[in-house]
Amino acid sequence: MAIHVLRTIVIALGVLILAVVGAIIWTAFDDGGDSGAASGGDNTQAAPDRLSLGLPSPACTIEQASTAAGRLTVITGGPANLPECRRVFVIQLSSGRIQTEVSP
């Protein structure tokens, strides 16, 4: 009698495990009716135009860049004879537009 009950429990647990594995596989391959690269949490916005900082010389360089609160802060510099290379730009990441430019 105990063996019959134990066998029934093992079979029920095996069926439950198969159902869970099937649900995991179904979820992994089901795109919810969406098709293409736009499914899931992907960004569907068009890429912004190329960003130009409008630096006065090819000798100007990006010295530091950091992101915070959806903005990119870029600090540029260059040779001592080109002080106009020293600028700080704040760029909105969602649009790619320069919000603020600070120069000495």
pLDDT at 20: 94
Q: Which parts of the chain sit beneath pLDDT 70?
A: 31-43, 45, 47-51
- Structure tokens of 48? 């912004």
pLDDT at 93: 87
pLDDT at 32: 62
Contact 84, 73 (CB under 8 A): no
Alpha carbons 79 and 76: distance in angstroms, whole number:
11
Burial classification of residue 91, based on how many CB atoms lie within 10 Å of its CB (0-12 exposed, 13-18 middle, 19 or more buried)? buried
Q: Which residue do the tokens 């001592």 mark? A: 80
15 phi/psi in degrees, rounded to 5 = -65, -40
pTM of the model: 0.51
pLDDT at 87: 92
pLDDT at 28: 82
pLDDT at 97: 85
Q: How many CA atoms lie within 13 A of 80 on its CB side?
A: 0
Contact 62, 74 (CB under 8 A): yes
pLDDT at 50: 67
